[in-house]
Amino acid sequence: MDLREFAEQVLFATTLEEKLRCPEAIEDAQPGKSLGSAPPMPGRPIGLAFKPSGSGKSDFPRLHRLDQEAERGRLLHFFANHELLATELMALVLLRFPEAPSAFRKGVLETLKDEQIHTRLYLDRMRECGTEFGSIPVSGYFWRAVSPMETPMDYVAGLSLTFEQANLDFCRHFAREFQSVGDTETARLLDTIYRDEIAHVAHGLKWFRRWKNPDQTDWEAFCQQLKYPLSPNRAKGAPLNVEGRQAAGMEPDFIENLAVFSQSKGRTPRVYVFNPFTEEHIAKGARFTPVRAQSILARDLENLPQFLCRQDDIVLVNNLPSAGFLNSIQQAGFPLPEFAQVQGCAEPSSPLALRKLGGLRPWAWGPDSLKLFGPLASNLTDDNTLRLPAYHEGIAALYSKTWSAAFFRRLLKTMEAPPWLCTEQEAGIVADTMDEALKAIASIRGRGHHRVVVKESFGLAGHNMIRLWEPELLTTHRAWIERGLGNGHPLVIEPWLDRVLDFSVQLEMEPCGLKRVGFTGLRNDLRGQFQANWAEPNHEKCVPNQVLKLLRAPSIDPGNIHIFYKQVVSFLEVEFRSAGFLGPVGIDAFVYRTPLGDCRLKPVVEINPRYTMGRLTLELMKQVCPGSTGVFKLTSRAALRSEGFESFVVFAKNAAERFPITFAGHPRPRLSEGLVVLNDPTRAEGFLATFRVGKGPGSGHDVERWI
């Protein structure tokens, strides 16, 4: 029989007997013309026609029921359909590309014959389990994903190196599962197919390397060749079978990159990006350009949104994380999202622009994120909780320290202040002119607060502020105030209080209302710049233990503090609804000591309508064992050197040796103790983020020692 005639028989026959029949002698003497576009579906018996796309997945057999013969038969039914699809796709490639090298076509023929045998083996074993082929609706996903191939290279990338490569994992995994329930016959069958799959992948890899751009690595060429919805994520199962890939001839670099690659297999992903300077963009507009230290921070920490999102979401970065770094994060128990490069991501031809998206989640909504995400708005699905416009003039006002100060004053006027709460005198005063600023400073000092802080409306913590320690205003102080007012925004003037402990409240504004996510401890340096956050057991409901200890007295019920924060959340929800804001929110607060020595609470220092490091800490805690404390910390290069380390790489290695990771818990082990480095120390220039887990203050340890 001629090869073309045989391929047509396999592709278009409507009985299994014809599809699986193979003559002894096949010649490729008359390849003929290309078939052209693939048919919507290969020829199939009526009972094996593809179920409609979008009709939902068939109920995949549960592995814990494999001791039941009927469940084993159902699982084999899935496998048989996959093998039949591979057979039909190989027939299609022979008809689509008659001009392909004869050696390639011969290799495809031999692989096709193996797939026919595999299908028969599954059918026979399936019938022995009491299951008839066609008794379960069959999927046509493989066909829809691979049949649009335009070149033989599409075939080897899409079938040989994707679905057949994944079978290296599935065959080995399911052989062990069948063996574990005593079904040695099916286990042996899968082992046989596994050995054949190694040869099939090797055949595809040989031609892939022959046809790819020689300047690209196998991994680079593979990622470039696949067309959505195919991705490297479809080329693997769990656990990853390194041995089988090595036997097929794959390079260690390819295997390592595949191990840490992630992309959604079904759920519409949300897109995240780290844009930490939104306040500056709001304040200065197009005039804003990050200084060198800011640019370094943004580059070093750009991957951090990976700890905010789910495994099938997307994080935009300028530079894709290295496989080695991602492997360390994976080994620490954290799921890996998909990473995509921010440059050109919204261009009409970019892969991201061609995909449906479930939401857009920048670190902060502002002019910068609106510009980046605006072109992607039309890709959003019906999940309208984060649809554009997510940023407008009303939301811009929420970033202002003057808005926070005014909100706090309104809040205090609505309630009778308990003795542990600050008074309106400790709230910030908003000044629009130099005269108002001078009067506010004089008023604060007249009440006995000789130290005063003046803040610009917009700016990150520790920046855009001046401290007035001297008895009289200096010329430099006046010049700073004039310059601040000259930016077109009012100033906030506050008494400098003797802060004892900082903490934060993390919230999420949803369409149904403002929800509390949890509380974190907060450590800033003497200049007010962020150093660390920590979260204790029961952080979802309770303020840090040290806050309660500082404010506790015989006449104070700690529960009243939590009741008070419910009032704050309720009051703030009204404001956010009015502004049309949705998304994450952080409220900074602190406990301070009065001149009389007692402690009081300033519950609202700043309101940040964006992600914060405190929220990041709470998301990290989702991977931590109950009863443990977690500390998120930023270490600067200056701090690194002061501790005697010559580089972030040396620092990270030392930390791994001093604080090894351990897991505990069942059925899903979680971090129990140890330290995880959260950004790549080999690339970090100025900052390294770490997360340390262990028993917290409740167990007699002082969390302050971790910072």
pLDDT (average), residues 28-40: 92
Percent of the chain with pLDDT over 90: 78
Strand order across the 670-677 sheet:
599-608, 583-593, 498-510, 513-524, 530-535, 629-636, 687-694, 670-677, 662-664
Question: How many domains are contained in the chain?
Answer: 2
Residue 399 has pLDDT above 50, yes or no: yes
- Which tens digit of pLDDT belongs to each residue from 576-623? 999 999 999 999 999 999 988 889 999 999 999 999 999 999 999 999
- Which tens digit of pLDDT belongs to each residue from 330-368? 999 999 999 999 998 888 888 888 889 998 999 999 999
Confidence of residue 477 (pLDDT cuts 50, 70, 90): very high
Instruction: Say what the pTM is.
Output: 0.89
pLDDT (average), residues 380-398: 74
The closest alpha carbon to 95, from 142, 155, 50, 139, belongs to: 155
Position 174 in a domain: yes
* Residues 252 and 277 reside in one and the same domain: no
Q: Which two tokens stand for residue 247?
A: 């036997």
Residue 34 has pLDDT above 80, yes or no: yes
Position 297 in a domain: yes
Position 558 in a domain: no
Looking at residue 700, what is its pLDDT? 41
In the chain, how many H helices and how many E strands? 24, 17
The closest alpha carbon to 584, from 334, 313, 386, belongs to: 386
* Residues 169 and 201 reside in one and the same domain: yes
Residue 699 has pLDDT above 50, yes or no: no
Confidence of residue 293 (pLDDT cuts 50, 70, 90): very high
Last residue of a domain, one of 240, 260, 280: 260
Position 515 in a domain: no
Identify the residue with better confidence: 169 or 545. 169
* Residues 150 and 127 reside in one and the same domain: yes
Residue 385 has pLDDT above 50, yes or no: no
* Residues 14 and 97 reside in one and the same domain: yes
Looking at residue 549, what is its pLDDT? 85
Confidence of residue 56 (pLDDT cuts 50, 70, 90): low
* Residues 292 and 363 reside in one and the same domain: yes
What is the DSSP track for 163-211?
IHHHHHHHHHHHHHHHHHTT-HHHHHHHHHHHHHHHHHHHHHHHHHHHH
* Residues 304 and 382 reside in one and the same domain: yes
Looking at residue 58, what is its pLDDT? 62
What is the DSSP track for 659-674?
S--EEE-SSS-EEEEE
Confidence of residue 382 (pLDDT cuts 50, 70, 90): low
Phi-psi bin for 564: left (phi > 0), alpha (psi -120 to 50), beta? Answer: alpha
Last residue of a domain, one of 357, 391, 425: 391
Q: Which two tokens stand for residue 466?
A: 């001046």
Residue 557 has pLDDT above 90, yes or no: no
Residue 61 has pLDDT above 80, yes or no: no
* Residues 254 and 288 reside in one and the same domain: no
Strand ranges (DSSP E) for 568-685? 583-593, 599-608, 629-636, 662-664, 670-677
Q: Are the CB atoms for 429 and 490 separated by under 8 Å?
A: no
Position 479 in a domain: no
CATH number of the domain at 160, please.
Answer: 1.20.910
* Residues 338 and 231 reside in one and the same domain: no
Position 482 in a domain: no
Position 209 in a domain: yes
Identify the residue with better confidence: 116 or 52. 116
* Residues 161 and 251 reside in one and the same domain: yes
* Residues 166 and 108 reside in one and the same domain: yes
* Residues 188 and 331 reside in one and the same domain: no
Q: Which two tokens stand for residue 632?
A: 């998120």
Position 660 in a domain: no
pLDDT (average), residues 6-16: 97
* Residues 201 and 98 reside in one and the same domain: yes
Structural domain span for residue 213:
3-21+68-260
pLDDT (average), residues 107-120: 98
- Which tens digit of pLDDT belongs to each residue from 121-147? 999 999 999 999 999 999 999 999 999
Confidence of residue 21 (pLDDT cuts 50, 70, 90): very high
